[in-house]
Structure 1
Amino acid sequence: MADLTRGLDAQGYLAREGSLARVEDPFRPVVAAARDRLLDVFGARMTSAYLYGSVPRGTARPGRSDLDLLLALRHEPTDADRAEARVLDESLDKEFTQIDGAGTLLFSRARLLSDLETYDLGWFVACLCTPLLGEDLAEYLPRYRPTSLLARETNGDLALLLPRWRERIAEAAPADLRGLQRGMARHLVRTGFTLVMPRWNGWTSDLGEMAEVFGGYHPRWAGAMRDAADAAREPTGDLAALRTYTEEIGPWLADAYAREHGVKAPRP
């Protein structure tokens, strides 16, 4: 039997999470509209479209969860492509009160299937994305286990991100702090979880569970990670909390990650 408590199938590989069948009723009109508009806007330029996040996992909260989309394009995304995606995202967010924002990631099909991205974007597509339109690129990707290699290539870049986070916090308008906190807190929790993922031998996308799993191995930071998980779900935009990410738990986590798994392979 599959190990449903740790996201593994019967052979010990990471099972794909999410499906269109799990999309709950309040979000079905949003997904249907997104599918139609993606076809209208990108058409033959895209080879695949995916949902990811809480909506295809069936854990989205009406009025509080965002809609996450990923597209595989036939070419490298251009500024014009990104502008069209932003307009699409804004239209969905404005029309559907069920969601609190929408975001569409754009990548070329070649990049998603490249050797460099096999254990990062490739894994993300194969295990965390739910097919919505077109071909499923998971057919061309390997099956994955919760290994140190996977940990390194998914989240082994925190040290590079921390200086950028400091700059963004310093430059942010007060109205933007909640969004910054939500994104940074999510990243911290996922990085903390993948630090210990190979020892735990499994996968979860539940931020609360991620924080608890991490805290079991690193009790000194358990409270800070639980706070980050709470902030990822209910951000306050508190500057003091943001500074703990960049000056306290973040630097410790980046160092621990480099010692445990190494540093993510450089991207162009």
Structure 2
Amino acid sequence: MAEEGNTAQPKPAVFILDLEQPDLFTAIYSDFVDALASEYRIQRARKKGPAERYLTNTENRPIAILAVDAGLVERKNASLLQQVRDYVHRGGTVIFMANFSGFITPPKMNKFWPETWGLDWQFGEYHRTTVHLNHNMPWLSTATNSLPQQYSQKAVNLAQVALSDVLYRPSSDSRTQSAVLAESPVNQYQTPVAFTKIGRGFVGYIGDMNNETGSQNVVMEMCKLAAYNASTAAPPVE
């Protein structure tokens, strides 16, 4: 009997855009990258030119782009941002995470969401608190839904996010958590984790600045949803 060939499918690709602080990302997030690499082929660009060439090559079909710093917001990278925007509208997923929230100014963020994505999202409060999973988020039924029910994170929150786009939010019992300052109530209408449909794809945001295990799990789940969406809706990158 002839031996059957190896029919194992290659891992789907995740493309990391690390344009401004590659050394910092490597230092803080190496364990996350290792976990991600167990499920996906990691491809990474630290400069605009290689990133644009990667996205132009139709053989490259990443299921998600991780924008791990604020480099995409800079004017010098406008053409790359347009490629990412087109990729999302065709069915891809981009997640703004890691060092993104800590290296973007409030004015730049407040222009970025409406001008690039048509979103009302705005720069919100910065604090540590415990946030809870929003079970009414419409995309949870598609995901594997092994997200943490709650976890503590120190994050830049977003304001003016529609409840349907909020993945985690504080409860009425949530309080700021600090080793030096007294606790205080937090704004229940802001969120450190948002996820929304744009065109045929998705845009995600994670404001956590400390690489919390809970946030790692959230990114992994967003990537699973991205992989599902790519298999059913996303055409090749053009």
TM-score (normalised: structure 1): 0.24
Larger relative helix fraction:
1
Larger relative strand fraction:
2
